[in-house]
Structure 1
């Protein structure tokens, strides 16, 4: 190797910049890619050396390849071990209280508890790891370098993705390297790289090959002399600038090995191996098959050489720079993985299986030859590669249990699939000795004792399906459930079949293949009429939850009640609590508000006490949501903030995102819009799946609409559509989406599109309990019709649209003072759309909202009441009341940044010659202050609103058509709209012109 570090100045500057930013408590994440041999490791070493000189602690970890398998969490375990050695007190303090969980990554911390096995268990481990690193890096800069990500196991990839998404504080640099030439189209790392590319916090570097000049400098460093230019040309052409091949070719040339310059590069890598003594070649082949690193004692047991002979063989391999000792000095590895791959590929098939058998036999004879946390996984890999099903099946199953215990569900799934592959080839006596209680956590009832019954193939399938769901490999899990259900067609085992149908329902929904209803219906048919059981209760609980979200009503209520009853009868506490969350929500939605909320509060306390994380997550999502549904937003906010803290601590990303979305909704209701926007951004940033992101986008669309940015609202609405998809329609999604779509269409002057959105929503209907979404939608549609009353183009179909709205208003329930106020408001808007609204009507609406904590809604209805008072006012009392109403509404609009409302208030006051400043001020209002329109532009806008063409405007105002066109263009720019229809809609919404001023016959 060249002692001189060649090139890479730009990349090193980027890494040093990241180090400096991390020193300022701004966590940094970098991905370093490049083809094999291009110099990634050398760059990391140079950076690590420089970082250490600046006082940083550098912890290196590498992904370990064992045959075709990766060792779960290997790079993180190695890096944490190095961090513990460098900062023992700091790491111990950071891990205090969580040692039993973190021991899954770092066994030195203690004994990992069995714990729960579900999606939350893995998420909890990830969250604890992220916070551990933040705490360790609170006072000094820490660099975590993870190499060879292309070999990373799935659990390592998931943990890295979580870490890079959620790092918030700490003086931390996370640097990961990977081979870009290995990342083919179906490589499992490829989706992760695409996901991380979307994160603004992650920087990605690609190492290019050396230029000819850099190759010359590298050769000069290797040979310690200036090379011949012709030799540089030849090596550069042959190596194509790959740093590792430059090394090999330079040494080959210096040793007079001409064949190295003509043979394939793979053969070049073997030239140095073939030049070694036979014993050293044999040792190299053994090391190549043992994995990325082989411990010395294990190597000695497999090589079966006298110790002196083994040492001499190793000395020759190390002297030829083929092998190097590990940093800990307890084993050996190839200097470069390309050489190991070349040597391993050169093994004969029989030779490979024989070596793996010897590795397995040596490890079985002395388990202490390898670290305890790697022993079971490596033994399973060795026996599998040895093609010995009798030995491989139990070893693979043991490894799957260890992977599950570490929450490495991706690796557990792969091992279980391998066990299913081995099942038929393993001897019957071996299978008969296996027990489900030893190898599975999933026991679909089979009417027998799992400890006394042989393990079945279906047991493996059940465990694999759950592992696939936990780790996000839903496609693989779905195929397993399909095969299992096909097998069960020939067996009478309804509870086991029902269990698989429930799993399939969850997977179908997760894969966006449907809403999962038919699968749950199949499960219900199978358990109907059977005695109560845990499976029966679980089927009912899932069916009730599905119905609550899709078709709420008496059937959902009955299923939830029965699920609670059955769960209590069979002692299934978790299912009971989960079903009680659903039941409490259905009680509130059906009108039994006090009892429903009381039940949800009781469940929340119970699940917190029991520590059932995923049910706690549901409680923190649903209880505040139900409080919001009855107008108790102020009560919901502290619970939601508590929920954010809880779910973040347990790594429940989707639950956290739903909570952020609900928090945004409640803050919006309370008039805290800036906080609401931050909460919506939290939903977008924390979600692991699509639907919670849709909620965040929808909340931002609401804020954009209220602040007068229809284009941004439309953009956010499109994002929400994309996240929600069309595979799983739910009223809680469809109705808010339709409401915002109606608002955007009305704002842009597309009343027919707004009516079409309304018609689709009315056709779908408002199931029981969905009034919280239905009333805002009906209000938006009624307001759009009222705002467009003066538009000639809106006359066609108006009567029918108003009749449909009135019919929907008559049918929709209220159930709480908030929705009673919305009902009265919607009816007032319908009267306004017909021109029959009165001050008395609006006064009742204002009175309703004055009792509610909804400042924006109150400001809107106050503005409507003021408008009615001014249009019918005959005395000073009415004008004074209108002025005060407008002053209050304007103050709220100004505070919230609700531009459309503020402009409407200002224009209404100007038309009535009122002042809206503090009492006693007499400054008159000018419409130009709000819209910037000149008096001529006001005249033009009035005619545009009446539907006049440019030529008609020119004739009426005695100007040229070209001048009229210029005025229209200026108006569109000042209003921030794209066309004449939108401009007219803005003018009518703001009440800029009296209806009679737009009479076409005038």
Structure 2
């Protein structure tokens, strides 16, 4: 009886889970229809997650879907990087070799970081934040392509063991997967997710995504336990047995299986303890000594142990080993893995119990034997797992001298796979081991072998690896995996050590100023990224440390970073000089990546300084070199900066062409974050060209794909700007607030600050809050406008000047008007006009200031229109035509020319959807009796009663416009207050306005009265 039960401890009948199975099969149907699905299945250990997944995968296969299964493993410092994805992709490659090869074509080098079978991993690029995002994007694209014509189910088990890189990739996949016939199902053990478990934040994040469905498996009811027992025993169980097992298992499916085996084998009568650990160990303890020994070895070897490695560690005769394995498999304790010659526990709870039962010395001895076996024959395990597993074995063997070199080698391999989180934890493990390693072992380690991120500061290759080198590596890895607080702590620790080691007479940086400068530069980045400042103080310290030292890679890097900071915050001669020195130093020390970075910055600063063509040539040269050298980060940055510079000098059509090319490049290379930056600039240039509908679509797409905060801020800013120009003020205000939140307050750059201020001023003007317009301009321009900021400053001044002109004549606007106009004029005089587009804006601002002062001049507006004509700025041109027509009509005569201007401007306003401008033009046309259609006959001269106002109503309107009450109007016109009230109501109705304030504003804007007394 025992043999039968042991072979059938799993019920052949799938019990319960009808609702959960329905949810999974419905997701499969939706995916088959082309809508990708993402599901998370959670439940406590032993509740039946694996059985549910097996049943679902069987159903998926029966419907023709291709299934790829991968599982997380417990190994290394924080798991094996990308283990479940690597296993699933390997499974997919085995089932669809041609399709996967076609989907990966052209990106095999990058995707080999996940699936080594695709070829050699691409050589490492300089450290940057794009590397991991690029790998993630290419992985998503690969899955989308494979699932384009067939349904694919990607199943990932045991997320509670997932390494950080796997968690990040899964989150990216769930956020960005939008097409393909793909189902992604991931399982996790819910009872392991304590408050500080690393999976907990991911689950919270995924819960906020509407595209992710979460399924929680409850325990079985008594009825379901009864059905499970019936399946296991192949007979109707006694009611007492059902009650007893249900009580003791509490409905946990796995515990039911274990209890029924114990019950039928008679172990329960032997006084089986109620504790979980004893329950899980009881069947192991009934095995032979050899089988128990093998089980203990497999438990300590990892989630799966290869047969050859197991044989080397067990040191049993082969026949004895096979018999021991057969006994463990027959007892349903071990299983042979289906895709290789290895073994694993049928359930991880049993493995954990067996591992916990090992004595401390026994555990260390087993790990040493695993490590020695693997060192003797590295081919015993898959190549992509070898170093990580060896590092884990030596570490748990408590042999620091053996562990340190291999831990550092595993960190290098993690870096090559862009698994920066695992790299950081391995490096921290190396730091932990450092003091326990003999000096002669440490002296044998070289930075060239283990310190990829940190330049050797000109030291010979024979220089031993230092503790500071590992701190630098760990800091970079922490920053790249998003743990910036941890990175900042590491950097501060390194700077403290440098200070402690300082020569009292050596000044800042002590004996090693270059290393100190490197850490201060890294600290600058982190302070900016964490929103704790702009990072300049730290950069200034770094520059002081390297000043006067011979050229080095560190010196070049410090200058390049300082120049880049200056380009964004303070473009000018100092930043230009820093960029030139950075290029020179980088060439001297042959730091090619730093040179490309500095040259690109230099080109942008040259454009800002007015050397436009030379600057653009330099930037295009960098782009070409970066593409040839496959330095994708700098190529992507060039595709961001070149369109930005072209837009800054008014060459919007050319900017659109380069940006569209940059979008294609970013998508091909998987540079998703870079794609967001390029799209931000593309939307801006399309707005300038009057392609507002395309710009709106681009802004919505940018909002969907933006992976980091500032591109999301750019999406909100562009949507706010468009909504403001189209008269959707509440929508604009919402997006403006979200843009401010995304950009933050600790590092206000001109490229964000001034466009935000412009929209803020426009909204204040739209609501009639002129005081807020004036305050907003003063705040935005408090420190003046730096070199190269004219692209943002001129539109800001134009918005402020227009608001002053529109409010002319309103009593509430008179106080402080002169000072406000003088402030705008002062700023305008100081602002450069290096190219025609900003020369035209200067004319526009001057014309608006004259209008605000009551000196509206048709000739000024004619000059502005002529300047704007060839610049492909349809919205600004339509506004200037509107104002010119208004000025002509105010002077009398020129009706034909005014009519042409109004009609041309109205056509543009209608096409753009610029409602405020369209309504102003329609009101002007109504007042002047101008047709908005092309004339076929002479237009009649207007009568004296604009909007049908009688002479008495015009008298009343004149007094309303200067703020008189009904009683004051009655007194001045010698009529009763009631009659005055009737006149005011009639006027409001004829003008189509809601109140006296709007009537006054309309009167001044459209000059409904020839003269309004002050």
Tell me the TM-score normalized by structure 1. 0.91
Residue pairs, 1:773-852, within 5 angstroms: 773-852=792-871
Change (3 A) 1:387 1:957: farther
In 1: Cα distance, 2:454 partner to 2:802 partner = 56
2:921 aligns with: 905
User: Which residue number corresponds to residue 597 of structure 1?
Assistant: 616
Q: Please give the per-residue CA displacement for 1:557-598, whole angstroms capped at 9, x wherever unaligned.
A: 111111122222222222222112111111111222222222
Assess, with a 3 A threshold, how the Cα gap between structure 1 residues 960 and 606 changes in structure 2: closer, same or farther.
same
Supply the distance in 2 between the matched residues of 1:387 and 1:966 (Cα, whole angstroms).
Answer: 94
Q: Kindly indicate whether the alpha-carbon contact (under 8 Å) linking 2:76 and 2:391 is maintained by their aligned counterparts in 1.
A: no
For residue 70 of structure 1, give the secondary structure of its aligned residue in structure 2. Answer: coil
- Residue from 882, 891, 910 that aligns with 2:898: 882
Contact 1:67 1:291 in 2 (8 A): no
**Equivalent of residue 115 in structure 2, options 66, 82, 106:** 106
CA contact (8 A) 1:657 1:682 kept: no
Contact 2:956-2:983 at 8 Å conserved across structures = no
Mapping 1:311-350, distance limit 5 Å: 311-350=322-361
The one-character-per-residue Cα deviations of 1:394-453 (angstroms, maximum 9, x if unpaired) are: 121221122222222221211111111111101122112222222222453454322x22
Please report how far the alpha carbon of residue 194 of structure 1 lies from its aligned counterpart in structure 2 after TM superposition.
3.6
Cα distance in 1 for residues equivalent to 2:301 and 2:960 = 81
Q: Distance in 1 between matches of 2:379 and 2:887?
A: 88
* 2:761 is the counterpart of 1:751: no
Contact 2:924–2:1006 (CA under 8 A) maintained in structure 1: no
Alignment partner of 1:608 out of 606, 614, 627: 627
1:530 and 1:499 map into 2 onto residues whose CA distance is: 14
- CA-to-partner distance for each residue in 1:753-786, whole Å, 9 max, x for gaps? 2222111112121011111111111111111222
Secondary structure in 1 aligned to 2:180? coil
Distance 1:758 1:287, change over 3 A: same
Look up the SS of the partner of 2:781 in the other structure. Answer: helix
Match of 2:1001 among 981, 985, 988: 988
2:307 corresponds to 1:288: no
Distance 1:941 1:476, change over 3 A: farther
- Give the Å deviation of 1:611: 2.0
What is the match of residue 299 of structure 1? 310
- Judge conservation of contact 2:127–2:453 (CA < 8 Å) in 1: no
Displacement after TM superposition at 1:211 (Å): 4.3
For the Cα contact (< 8 Å) 1:908–1:991, is it kept in 2? no
| Equivalence for 2:669 | 650
- Tell me if the contact between 2:553 and 2:589 (Cα under 8 Å) persists in the aligned partners: yes
Change (3 A) 1:706 1:998: farther
2:375 corresponds, among 337, 356, 364, to: 364
Work out whether residues 249 and 260 of structure 1, in 8 Å CA contact, stay in contact via their aligned partners in 2: no
Deviations 1:505-545 (A, max 9, x none): 12222222221111111111011111222221211111111
For 2:441, the equivalent position in structure 1 comes to: 430
Aligned residue among 411, 417, 422 for 1:411: 422
Q: CA deviation at 1:285?
A: 2.2
Q: 1:32 aligns with which of 41, 45, 48?
A: 41
- Aligned counterparts of 2:959 and 2:278: Cα–Cα separation in 1: 84
Q: Note the 1:508-519 alignment, pairs <5 A.
A: 508-519=527-538
Which residue of the partner structure matches residue 402 of structure 1?
413
Tell me if structure 1 keeps the 8 A contact 2:764–2:770.
yes
Change (3 A) 1:846 1:331: same
Relative to structure 2, which stretch is displaced further, 520-529 or 233-242? 233-242
Aligned to 1:70: 79
SS of 2:871's partner is coil
Alignment check: 8 A CA contact 1:577 1:603 kept: yes
Alpha-carbon displacement from aligned partner over 1:128-149 (angstroms, at most 9, x marks no partner)? 3222222222222211111112
Q: Which moved more, 1:765-774 or 1:605-614?
A: 605-614
Q: 1:839 to 1:430 in 2, by over 3 A?
A: same
- 1:135-176 Cα shifts (integer Å, max 9, x gaps): 222222211111112211122222223333333433222222
**TM-superposed deviation, 1:923:** 12
Shift of 1:942: 11
Matches within 5 A, 1:101-500: 101-119=110-128, 120-227=130-237, 232=242, 235-236=245-246, 238-253=248-263, 257=268, 263-450=274-461, 452-489=462-499, 490-491=501-502, 492-500=511-519
> In structure 1, the residue corresponding to 2:690 is in which secondary structure?
coil
Q: Residues of 2 paired with 1:394 and 1:596: CA distance?
A: 47
Equivalent residue number for residue 66 of structure 2: 57
Indicate the larger mover: 893-902 or 185-194.
185-194
Deviations 1:923-963 (CA, angstroms, capped at 9, x unpaired):
99xxxxxx9xxxxx999999998768899999999599999
Write the distance in 1 (CA, Å) between the matches of 2:414 and 2:595.
Answer: 29
Q: Is the 8 A contact 1:446 1:493 kept in 2?
A: no
Checking the alignment, whether the CA contact within 8 Å between 1:117 and 1:404 is kept in structure 2 is: no
* Alignment correspondent of 1:762: 781
2:13 is paired with a residue whose SS is coil
Q: CA deviation at 1:254?
A: 5.1
Aligned position for 1:682: 701
CA distance in structure 2 between the partners assigned to 1:66 and 1:962 by the alignment: 86
The Cα of 1:366 is off from its aligned counterpart by 2.0
Contact conserved, 2:569 with 2:750, CA < 8 A, in 1? yes
Q: Between 673-682 and 692-701, report the one with greater CA deviation.
A: 673-682
Indicate how the Cα distance of structure 1 residues 825 and 343 shifts in structure 2: closer, same or farther if over 3 A, else same.
same
- 3-state secondary structure, aligned to 2:214: strand
Partner of 2:5: none
Secondary structure of 2:153's aligned partner: strand
| 1:949–1:163 CA distance, 2 compared to 1 (3 A) | farther
Give the Cα–Cα distance (whole angstroms) in 2 for the partners of residues 992 and 763 of structure 1.
30
**Where do 5+ consecutive residues of structure 1 fail to align?**
925-930, 932-936
Q: Structure 1 residues 786, 367: CA separation in 2 closer, same or farther (over 3 Å shift)? A: same
Given that 1:710 and 1:744 are in contact with CA atoms closer than 8 Å, whether structure 2 keeps it comes out as yes
1:252–1:999 Cα change, 3 Å: farther
- Number of residue equivalences: 981
Is the alpha carbon distance of 1:446 and 1:863 closer, same or farther for their aligned partners in structure 2, counting shifts above 3 Å? closer
- Tell me which moved more, 910-919 or 718-727: 910-919
Q: Which residue of 2 aligns with 1:737?
A: 756
After superposition, the Cα gap between the structure-2 partners of 1:985 and 1:677, relative to the gap in structure 1 and judged at 3 Å, is farther
Check conservation: 2:806, 2:1005, Cα contact below 8 A: no
Distance in structure 1 (CA, Å) of the matches to 2:977 and 2:695: 47
Distance 1:782 1:394 in 2: 67
SS of residue in 2 equivalent to 1:763: coil
**Aligned Cα root-mean-square deviation (Å):** 3.4
CA contact (8 A) 2:930 2:939 kept: no
Cα deviation, 1:347-400, whole Å, max 9, x if unaligned, reads: 222222222112112222222222121111111001101111011111212211
Question: 1:278/1:338 Cα in 2 relative to 1: closer, same or farther (>3 Å)?
Answer: same
Per-residue displacement from partner, 1:833-857 (whole Å, max 9, x unpaired)?
2222122222221111112101111
Q: Assess if the C-alpha contact under 8 Å between 1:790 and 1:998 holds in 2.
A: no
